[in-house]
Amino acid sequence: MTSQFIDFQTDPSRYRHWRLAFDGSVAHLIMDVDAKGGLVEGYELKLNSYDLGVDIELADAVQRLRFEHPEVHAVVLRSAKDGVFCAGANIRMLGQSSHAHKVNFCKFTNETRLAIEDASAASGQIYLAAVNGTAAGGGYELAETTEHIMLVDDRRSAVSLPELPLLAVLPGTGGLTRLTDKRRVRRDLADLFCTTEEGVRGARAVAWRLVDEVVPPSGWEGAVAARARAIAARSDRPAAAQGIALTPLDRRITPDSLVYPHVTVALERAARRAVITLHGPRPGTLAADLASIHAQGAKFWPLALARELDDAILHLRLNEPEVGLLVFRSEGDAAAVRAADALLETHGGDWLVRELRLYWKRVLKRIDMTARSLIALIEPGSCFVGTLAEIAFAADRAVMLSGSRAGDNRPPAALTLTALNFGAYPMGNGLTRLANRFYGEPDSLGRAEAAIGTPLEAEAAAAMGLITVAHDEIDWDDEVRVMLEERASFSPDALTGMEANLRFAGPETMETRIFGRLTAWQNWIFQRPNAVGESGALKRYGSGVKPEFNPQRV
C-alpha cells in the first residue's frame, strides 16, 4: 500500500459508507459502503467489505452517538445492501497492504469494536445486529460485538468465519475469542464453524449460539423494531437530555509537529521519537459545576484534551511508523488538574461525565496498546495528577526530577493521586493501572490509596514505587539522554514483544486474549508465505488458482 496521510477526523456530513437514522430512543447505524470509496486505489469495496476508511467512519459514528445523542438507548447495526450484511475486511486491500498497515488496521478495528461493547456495557447505549444477508468474516465479527444478533431466516442469510479455509489467515479482530468467551460457543462447534466456508444459517445458528434468534422474512422489520424497543427499555440513559456537539479539532500539522490547544507533539525523527506535551487547563477556563461542564461541551478541558490526545496517538501509529519512542511530558497548574478530577468524581452519575470518563478509559487503553516505547518525564511545572498520572503509570518507565533546577522558581516536581486512579480507568485486564503495577503487592496499593490528594515529590514517589527512578539536577540531562538513546538503539521488534508482555499483569480477559494472543498469532501469520507469498492465499484469492502451502507446521 502506498504511503499517504491518514486522517482520523471526520463527521456525518463526510461519510461515504455509513448513515444514521433516528426513531425516538432507537438509532439505526446503516452500513452502505461505497465500492469506489477505498482509502487508496487498487481495490473496490464490494459487498459491504471494509478498509480503514470505513472503520474510521464507524468509530466516529459510535463516538457521536454516545456524546451527541443521550436520548438514544439502543442502536441497530444493519445493512442497506440487499442480501449482504457485511463481507468483512476487503481482501484486495489486505493483499496489497504492508504488514504494518495490516497490523494497525486490525488494531484500530478491534478498538472500535471494543468501543461498541463498552457502549452497551457501560453507557446504556445497547447495540443490536440485524443481519439481513450474509455476514462473513469481519462482518460476523462486527455482529459479534453487539449484545443481540438477529438473523433473517430466508435460506440465504448465514454467518461465517471463513478466513482459515479461504485466506489462510484468522478472524483476527476478535472473532475466535468472542465465539468462546462471549457467545459461549462450544469449542468443537467453533472449530467446525471456522473451517466451513459456507457458514451456518437458520435454526442451527441459534442452536450453536452463533446468533440469538432467527426471524422469517415476512415479520423481519416488525421483529427488529420490537426487539430494539425492548432493548432500549433496559437503558438508564436520560430520555430528554441535550447532547453536546463534537466539534472539529483545532489541529495544525507541520513537518515536525502536531499542535492542538492542549497537546503538542514534537517529532524528533533523527532520534526516532516524539515528545508529547500535555497542557493543563488555562487559568480561569475550567468549569466550576455540572451546568458549566454541559455548557462548555467539547471545550471542557478533560474532554478536549482526551480528543486531542486520541487523535495524536492514532496519527503517530499510522503516519509515523518509524517513530518508536513516545516521551510524555506535562505542563500546567496541578491544582487545576486536581479540580478537574474532583468534578469528574463528584458528578460521575451524570450521563455526560460518565461518557467523558469512559472516553478517557478508552484513550488510556489505546496508549496501553500502542506498539511504541512509552517514557514519562516528571519535571518541575508538570501536572501529572489523577487522570494525567494514569499516563505515567501506563508508561514503560516513569522518571522524575528530584528537587528543582537552578534558576527555576517553580516548586519541585510532584505526582498526585486522586480517587479516579482507583477504579475509573481499568485496563484491558480489568485491573487499574496501579493494581497492575502492584500486582501481588496489596500493601503497596493500600499505601498509594492512603496518599490520595498528597503531592508526592521524587523521594516519596520512589519510595512508594510510583516511579521507576529519580535523578537530581546534576544527573538529569545525561541520564535521560542515555536512557532515550539506548531505547532507540534496541530492536523495535524485540521491544514491541517485551512491552506487550510486560504491560499487562494478572488475569486474562476476552480483551487481553484478543490483543495479546489472537492478534499476536495473526501478526505472525500475516508474515508467512502461505498467506502473503506470491503463491499464498491472500495473493491468489479470486484468481481461480489454488494457493500453494508449505506443509511444515512450526
* pLDDT tens, residue by residue, 372-390: 999 999 999 999 999 999 9
CA atoms of 437 and 422, how far apart (whole Å): 12
* Within a domain: 257: yes
Confidence bin at 518 (pLDDT 50/70/90): confident
**Other beta carbons within 10 Å of 12:** 13
* pTM of the complete model: 0.95
Find where cell 491544582 sits. 335
Confidence bin at 553 (pLDDT 50/70/90): confident
Read off the pLDDT of residues 125-141 as tens digits, 9 standing for 90 and up.
Answer: 999 999 999 999 999 99
* Within a domain: 512: no
| pLDDT (mean) for 210-226 | 97
98 and 150, same domain (yes or no) = yes
At residue 1, does pLDDT exceed 60?
A: no
Q: Chain centroid to CA 375: how far? A: 20
415 forms beta bridges with 456
Q: Chain centroid to CA 197: how far? A: 30
Looking at residue 326, its amino acid is L
At residue 3, does pLDDT exceed 80?
A: no
Residue 43, domain CATH: 3.90.226.10
| pLDDT (mean) for 192-213 | 97
Tally of domains within the chain: 2
* % of the chain with per-residue pLDDT over 70: 99
356 and 497, same domain (yes or no) = yes
367 and 465, same domain (yes or no) = yes
CB 431 within 8 Å of CB 506: yes
| pLDDT (mean) for 531-537 | 91
214 and 317, same domain (yes or no) = no
* Within a domain: 102: yes
Read off the pLDDT of residues 262-271 as tens digits, 9 standing for 90 and up.
Answer: 999 999 999 9
At residue 510, does pLDDT exceed 90?
A: yes
Domain containing 33: what range? 12-232
Read off the pLDDT of residues 129-174 as tens digits, 9 standing for 90 and up.
Answer: 999 999 999 999 999 999 999 999 998 999 999 999 999 999 988 9
pLDDT in the model for residue 520:
85
φ and ψ at residue 9, rounded to 5 degrees: -95, 130
At residue 546, does pLDDT exceed 50?
A: yes
| C-alpha distances in Å from residue 196, one per residue of 123, 175, 181, 441 | 36, 14, 20, 47
* Within a domain: 245: no
284 forms beta bridges with none
Q: Chain centroid to CA 7: how far? A: 16
510 forms beta bridges with none
154 and 270, same domain (yes or no) = no
Read off the pLDDT of residues 461-494 as tens digits, 9 standing for 90 and up.
Answer: 999 999 999 999 999 999 999 999 999 999 999 9
155 and 295, same domain (yes or no) = no
Confidence bin at 329 (pLDDT 50/70/90): very high
CA atoms of 145 and 183, how far apart (whole Å): 10
* Within a domain: 31: yes
210 and 260, same domain (yes or no) = no
Cα angle 162, 167, 170; round to 5: 65
pLDDT in the model for residue 2:
46
